[in-house]
């Protein structure tokens, strides 16, 4: 879920930009004025309360507003997030929204302010008044609305600015230029909130099948370097032919090739990915530094390291059993090869796990039991990761 607030004085173009954002990111549009009118039309309890207050010349209380917003959010569980247009309008409402989001296990991720000078706002609104016939678009009313925006709403920008969530954009440019700037900010914020997971485990631990299942279950991008290399060979690309030649000569695929494939995958999915699950990479300390650098280049970072742990004797038994199936790997063919592969993991990959353990911690998952039992444990860890990202 990605939650965004769009700010700007009357005439800044919030409505136009909101339409594009709602379509592109599957957001639910929240304008308190529109929500109030809908509640009144539907004759709900909150709508009737608001109608009575408006009829008596009063202002609808924050208590009613927050209930309507909460109702809208909880009533749209499948939304990609929410776009708040002109809310919160006051410093008090900023705290109200903060508390509401906290209760719903989410938060406001960014506030984008379209900066437009007062005289430009006046000119735009007067033009709109002449073309639409809106009686409230006369200069006296316009300047009153702009003064109210300055006095009440601008402090909200400071509230979110202190948290590093406020982004200001020159709203005097063309609709297309402003839209491009907004999308760049949203893309950057979304990449910060990707759930990026590395799944470790000895050969035979089930890390491949569990990683693939996790990716499918949670809509994450599954990055398995072995599969990516094989896909290049299958498609007979220039890179694939080079990889095939390396395999035939018994040589290892150099990091420069693997890096290129991972970076290509990150670039292709940057606007749609909810996160990435890496299996089979990094295998070495050098590769762990490379992966950190690749993610940083794309404005993201690793959030979670999982290690599926299975006793050594059981690993050998699993690999021996797998050698008799169509899922057999090249190193499954004989016990010496199995032992060699297990030994390589111990000497090359365990130091990587230890590095991550010191940096950000590693969650050890008991890999014993049925696929479903292990999957439930791994899924619980991933769901907790998603919860922390909110």
pLDDT in tens, 22-60: 988 889 999 988 999 999 999 999 999 999 988 887 788
Q: Could you tell me the two tokens for 56?
A: 């008596």
Structurally, at CATH architecture level, domain 195-389 sits in: 3-Layer(aba) Sandwich (3.40)
- CA–CA gap between residue 285 and residue 39 (Å, rounded): 58
pLDDT in tens, 276-320: 999 989 999 999 999 999 988 887 889 899 999 999 989 888 887
Residue with tokens 């719903």: 104
Beta bridge partners of 113: 7, 168
pLDDT in tens, 248-267: 887 888 999 999 999 999 98
Write out the residue limits of the CATH 3.40.50.300 domain(s) in the chain: 2-192, 195-389
- CA–CA gap between residue 94 and residue 62 (Å, rounded): 11
Q: What is the pLDDT of residue 23?
A: 87
- CA–CA gap between residue 326 and residue 344 (Å, rounded): 24
Q: What is the pLDDT of residue 142?
A: 86
- CA–CA gap between residue 187 and residue 299 (Å, rounded): 9
**Listing from the earlier edge strand, what are the strands of the sheet with 275-279?**
221-224, 275-279, 195-201, 304-309, 363-366
Query: Looking at per-residue confidence, does 56 or 211 come out higher?
Result: 211
CA 246 to chain centre: 37
pLDDT in tens, 334-373: 677 777 778 888 999 999 999 999 988 899 999 999 999 9
Three-state secondary structure call for residue 252: coil
Q: What is the pLDDT of residue 341?
A: 79
Q: What is the pLDDT of residue 44?
A: 93
- CA–CA gap between residue 30 and residue 33 (Å, rounded): 9
2-192 maps to which CATH number?
3.40.50.300
- Asked if pLDDT for residue 275 goes beyond 80, the answer is yes
Contact partners, residue 287, CB within 8 Å, separation at least 6: 255, 258, 281, 352
Q: What value does the mean pLDDT take over residues 242-250?
A: 85
What distance, in Å, lies between the first and last C-alpha atoms of the chain? 7
pLDDT in tens, 215-236: 999 889 999 998 999 999 999 9
Beta bridge partners of 306: 199, 363
Beta-carbon count within 10 A of 92 CB: 13
Q: What is the pLDDT of residue 330?
A: 58
Query: Looking at per-residue confidence, does 254 or 190 come out higher?
Result: 254
């Amino acid at each position: 879920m990605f939650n965004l607030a769009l700010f700007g004085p009357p005439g800044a173009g919030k409505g136009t930009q909101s339409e594009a954002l709602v379509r592109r990111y599957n957001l639910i549009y929240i304008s308190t004025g529109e929500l109030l009118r809908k509640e009144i039309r539907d004759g709900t309890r909150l709508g009737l309360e608001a109608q009575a207050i408006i009829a008596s010349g009063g202002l609808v209380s924050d208590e009613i507003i927050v209930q309507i917003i909460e109702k809208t959010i909880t009533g749209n569980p499948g939304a990609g997030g929410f776009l708040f247009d002109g809310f919160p309008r006051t410093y008090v409402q900023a705290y109200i929204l903060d508390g509401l989001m906290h209760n719903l296990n989410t938060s406001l991720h960014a506030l984008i302010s379209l900066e437009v000078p007062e005289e430009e706002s006046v000119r735009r609104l007067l033009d709109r008044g002449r073309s639409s016939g809106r009686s409230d678009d006369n200069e006296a009313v316009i300047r009153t609305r702009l003064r109210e925006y300055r006095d009440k709403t601008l402090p909200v920008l400071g509230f979110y600015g202190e948290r590093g969530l406020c982004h200001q954009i020159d709203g005097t440019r063309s609709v297309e230029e402003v839209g491009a700037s907004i999308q760049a900010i949203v893309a950057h914020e979304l990449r910060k909130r990707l759930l990026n997971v590395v799944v470790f485990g000895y050969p035979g631990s089930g890390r491949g099948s569990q990683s693939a299942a996790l990716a499918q279950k949670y809509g994450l991008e599954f990055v398995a370097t072995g599969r990516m290399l094989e896909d290049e060979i299958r498609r007979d690309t220039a890179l694939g032919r080079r990889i095939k030649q390396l395999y035939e000569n018994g040589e290892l695929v150099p990091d420069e090739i693997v890096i290129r494939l991972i970076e290509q995958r990150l670039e292709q999915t940057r606007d749609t990915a909810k996160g990435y699950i890496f299996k089979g990479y990094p295998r070495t300390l050098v590769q762990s530094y490379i992966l950190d650098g690749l993610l940083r280049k794309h404005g993201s970072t690793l959030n979670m390291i999982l290690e599926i742990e299975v006793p050594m004797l059981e690993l050998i038994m699993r690999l021996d059993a797998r050698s008799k199936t169509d899922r057999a790997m090249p190193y499954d063919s004989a016990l010496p090869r199995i032992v060699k592969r297990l030994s390589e993991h111990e000497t090359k990959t365990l130091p990587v796990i230890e590095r991550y353990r010191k940096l950000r911690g590693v969650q050890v998952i008991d890999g014993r039991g049925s696929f479903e039992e292990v999957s439930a444990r791994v899924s619980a860890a991933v769901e907790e990761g998603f919860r922390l990202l909110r």
